[in-house]
């Protein structure tokens, strides 16, 4: 049986837990995670509880971060301790870092002291930096080590390090000097030292470097692993490509849910009340925007009553200007996240967006002026609607391009600017422009 056609619920409903546990052992941990993620949270916890520590640890690593965080909260401390002991340092730190402080301390106090110290060191770094992503397991050799000495260190680390592509060379003080590939090591003469074989790595990361920047560099330099150093160039650990793939997926998922004003937690929360609580804050923001638009319409009510035809075009103006703002915001957010927009490129993008929007605004403004003027046989009405629509599109697109940049500057995820925030702001601003221009011209 493959992961694609395995149904877990019948086993749970019929009390065949031991049979299920044996069946899952035949699957790759990633396939096990695929089988579990569609289940309810309590079902995932029950299945993970059936696994041995090594299998459970492997599956927790493969679960997406949101599901993993919720699952570990429902597992007994004894099970968590056993699973953490089987994990690599970076995965253990990710899991332990999301636990309540008392639970975290209890877990760390029951695992091997050396492992506990490694996890505590990693927890000092922000989880979304190179330091938070790195693992401490690597093959470290001194510059004076000979080939046989380096081979001996590889043998010592085989149980801790699964993928040994390079040896990391340091001086006596731990300063990072470079890498030696396994190929170069195998072809070297026995008497040669690491100093003679060392080469500059394709990529070196600083511990405080943001994970999005790290991901872009991995893509640019096409490396499988990169060393992480501190401000004194001392070797701390390494980041591997599998962690970067996880970062890319998590960032994409996070942006997707934020565009909708929600969270991935919805997939695993059973309570309708709690799920509603995840959506309500952004709906309240939209409600606030709606209240403001109501006040604006009320303030211009007397003027609008003179030309009720203006009211008929309000939804269209809000819709078109809002769409233009969202387009600019989305393009800017994507440029910021990919690294294409940085420094002066931000302002070049702003100028480009305004030129594009000017063409769109003039085209739509002229078209809607002709349509509305002909429909009501009123040239002044057509002029008012056309001008206000053109102005609303220009301003909305400008806000859509600027808001993500502002959010990035104040350390807020720019993806929020493409969702409820920019939509509500654009509605208010567009309506202000429409009612002011419309009543003034008509």
What pLDDT does residue 265 have?
57
What pLDDT does residue 329 have?
80
* pLDDT at residue 283 tops 80: no
What pLDDT does residue 264 have?
56
Q: Please, what's the b/e burial string for 121-158 (b: 16 or more CB within 10 A of its CB; e: otherwise)?
A: ebbebeeebbbbbbbbbbbbbbbebbbeebbeeeeeee
Kindly report which listed range (191-195, 304-308, 337-341) carries the lowest average pLDDT score: 304-308
**Pairing relation of β-strands 205-206 and 140-142?**
unpaired
User: What are the tens digits of pLDDT across the range 368-427?
Assistant: 888 877 777 777 778 888 888 888 888 888 888 888 777 777 776 666 555 666 777 777
What pLDDT does residue 302 have?
57
- β-bridge partners, 226: 239
What pLDDT does residue 282 have?
62
Kindly report which listed range (61-70, 85-94, 133-142, 144-153) carries the lowest average pLDDT score: 61-70
Kindly report which listed range (154-163, 267-276, 369-378) carries the lowest average pLDDT score: 267-276
Which DSSP symbol is given to 143? Answer: T
What pLDDT does residue 234 have?
95
Q: What angle do CA 380, 318, 400 make, to 5 degrees?
A: 120
| Residue 375 neighbours by CB under 8 Å, 6+ apart | none
For the chain, what is the mean pLDDT? 80
Residue 350: CB atoms within 10 Å: 18
What pLDDT does residue 285 have?
62
* pLDDT at residue 314 tops 70: yes
What pLDDT does residue 290 have?
63
Rg value, the chain, Cα: 29
What pLDDT does residue 197 have?
94
* φ/ψ bin of 76: left (φ > 0), alpha (ψ from -120 to 50), beta (otherwise): beta
User: What are the tens digits of pLDDT across the range 236-250?
Assistant: 999 988 888 877 777
Higher pLDDT among residues 418 and 91, named by residue = 91
With a pLDDT cut of 90, the percent of the chain lying above it is 17
Higher pLDDT among residues 24 and 177, named by residue = 177
* pLDDT at residue 260 tops 60: no
User: Which structure tokens are listed for 177?
Assistant: 């000097």
Highest mean pLDDT among 197-206, 295-304, 393-402: 197-206
What pLDDT does residue 232 have?
93
* Mean pLDDT calculated for residue range 262-272: 57
Higher pLDDT among residues 75 and 273, named by residue = 75
How far apart CA 131 and CA 213 sit, in angstroms, is 13
Indicate the pLDDT class of residue 170, thresholds 50, 70 and 90. Answer: very high
Q: Cβ distance 249 to 65 under 8 Å?
A: no
How far apart CA 278 and CA 321 sit, in angstroms, is 28
Higher pLDDT among residues 103 and 192, named by residue = 192
With a pLDDT cut of 70, the percent of the chain lying above it is 79
* pLDDT at residue 91 tops 80: yes
What pLDDT does residue 37 have?
79
* pLDDT at residue 300 tops 70: no
* pLDDT at residue 142 tops 70: yes
To the question of pTM greater than 0.85 for the whole model, the response is no
Q: What domains can you pick out in the chain, each with its CATH number?
A: 3-126 (1.25.60.10), 140-250 (3.10.580.10), 271-441 (1.10.357.20)
Closest among 74, 95, 76 to 86, alpha carbons compared: 95
User: What are the tens digits of pLDDT across the range 31-76?
Assistant: 888 888 778 888 888 888 888 888 888 888 888 777 888 888 888 8
């Amino acid at each position: 049986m493959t992961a694609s056609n395995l149904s877990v619920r019948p086993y749970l409903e019929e009390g065949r837990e031991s049979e299920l546990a044996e069946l899952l052992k035949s699957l790759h941990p990633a396939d096990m995670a695929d089988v579990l993620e569609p289940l309810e949270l309590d079902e995932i916890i029950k299945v993970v509880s059936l696994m041995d520590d090594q299998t459970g640890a492997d599956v927790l690593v493969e679960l997406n971060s949101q599901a993993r965080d919720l699952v570990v909260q429902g597992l007994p401390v004894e099970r968590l301790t056993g699973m953490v002991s089987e994990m690599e340092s970076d995965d253990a730190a990710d899991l332990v870092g999301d636990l309540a402080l008392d639970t975290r301390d209890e877990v760390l106090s029951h695992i091997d002291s050396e492992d506990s110290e490694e996890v505590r060191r990693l927890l000092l770094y922000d989880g979304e930096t190179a330091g938070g992503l790195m693992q401490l397991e690597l093959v470290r050799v001194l510059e004076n080590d000979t080939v046989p000495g380096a081979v001996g260190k590889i043998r010592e680390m085989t149980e801790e390090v699964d993928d040994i592509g390079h040896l990391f060379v340091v001086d006596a003080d731990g300063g990072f000097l470079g890498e030696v590939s396994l190929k170069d090591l195998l072809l070297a003469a026995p008497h040669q030292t690491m100093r003679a074989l060392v080469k500059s790595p394709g990529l070196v990361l600083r511990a405080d470097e943001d994970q999005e920047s790290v991901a872009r560099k991995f893509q640019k330099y096409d490396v499988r692993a990169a060393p992480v150093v501190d401000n004194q160039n001392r070797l701390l650990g390494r980041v591997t490509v599998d962690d970067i793939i996880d970062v890319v997926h998590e960032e994409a998922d996070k942006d997707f849910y934020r565009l909708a004003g929600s969270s991935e937690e919805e997939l695993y929360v059973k309570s309708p009340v709690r799920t509603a609580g995840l959506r309500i804050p952004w709906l309240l923001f939209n409600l606030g925007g709606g209240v403001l638009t109501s006040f604006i319409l009320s303030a211009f009510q007397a003027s609008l009553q003179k030309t009720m035809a203006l009211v008929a075009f309000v939804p269209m103006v809000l819709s078109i200007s809002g769409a233009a703002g969202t387009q600019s915001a989305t393009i800017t957010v994507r440029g910021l996240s990919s690294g294409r927009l940085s420094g002066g490129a931000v302002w070049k993008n702003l100028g480009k967006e305004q030129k594009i929007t000017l063409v769109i605004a003039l085209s739509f403004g002229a078209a809607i002026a002709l349509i509305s003027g002909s429909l009501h046989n009123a040239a002044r009405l057509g002029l008012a609607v056309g001008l206000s629509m053109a102005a609303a599109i220009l301003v909305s697109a400008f806000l859509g391009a600027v808001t993500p940049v502002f959010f990035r500057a104040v350390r807020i995820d720019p993806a929020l600017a493409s969702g409820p925030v920019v939509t509500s702001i654009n509605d208010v601003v567009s309506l202000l422009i429409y009612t002011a221009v419309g009543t003034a011209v008509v």
